[in-house]
């Protein structure tokens, strides 16, 4: 028995890093300007990092000019890396919904065009099921039919990181970011759609009701 103890301890030590790696997952989400969505999700408890980028299109290594010029088919997205032991994918989606206008499929807020449309890119069946459920919950909570929810749910494809100057833009360019966000009317629209549960409200993290 004593001879087995070192083997058991070694096995535990080897498995622990694998378990930790399994708990780290990615969510790729489009919700208008990636500066804003990155800023709104990066400090959620359980989130490890949030990175602005592009996904969904047909151009490899796209540039901001190609994406914003609607020449690549990509959306501006944020890749959210999170610890699934601390926050579930479903709960992360609750935060996502409260930071977008799910009734607008032509863009988001002042930013118009397909590159700004809201999309949930799902990796695997579990994420797809959770995304569909969260969409139905959002419709129920807003008191609208499911057809009014304009957030697309698509299979995840290649994520392309955005240029360095887009990363952590809100913190690196605070005054410019605050002016952009205000002038774009993002928080005003979120308040109109979600009321006190919006990002700018005191109870914006309250769970969606089924």
Residues tagged active-site: 33
Instruction: Name the nearest CA neighbour of 64 among 38, 35, 41, 39.
Output: 35
Which 3 state secondary structure label does DSSP give 63? coil
DSSP state of 85: T
How many Å apart are CA 176 and CA 108, to the nearest integer? 19
Strand partners, 25: 82
How many Å apart are CA 29 and CA 107, to the nearest integer? 14
Strand partners, 76: 54
Strand partners, 155: 122
Q: For residue 169, what are the CA distances in angstroms to 54, 82, 87?
A: 15, 20, 25
């Amino acid at each position: 028995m004593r001879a087995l103890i070192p083997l058991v301890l070694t096995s535990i030590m080897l498995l622990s890093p694998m378990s930790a790696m399994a708990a780290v997952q990615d969510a790729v989400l489009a919700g208008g300007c990636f500066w804003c969505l990155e800023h709104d999700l990066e400090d959620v408890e359980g989130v490890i990092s949030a990175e602005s980028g592009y996904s969904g299109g047909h151009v490899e290594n796209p540039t901001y000019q190609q994406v914003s010029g609607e020449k690549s088919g990509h959306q501006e997205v944020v890749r959210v890396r999170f610890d699934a032991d601390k926050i579930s994918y479903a709960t992360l989606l609750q935060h996502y919904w409260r930071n977008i206008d799910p009734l607008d499929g032509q863009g988001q807020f002042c930013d118009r065009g397909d590159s700004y449309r809201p999309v949930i890119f799902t990796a695997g069946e579990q994420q797809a099921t959770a995304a569909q459920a969260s969409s139905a919950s959002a419709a129920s909570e807003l008191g609208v039919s499911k057809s009014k929810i304009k957030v697309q749910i698509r299979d995840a494809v290649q994520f392309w990181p955005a240029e360095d100057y887009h990363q952590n833009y809100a913190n690196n360019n605070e005054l410019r970011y605050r002016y952009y966000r205000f002038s774009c009317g993002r928080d005003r629209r979120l308040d109109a759609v979600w009321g006190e549960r919006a990002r700018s409200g005191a109870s914006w993290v309250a769970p969606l009701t089924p």
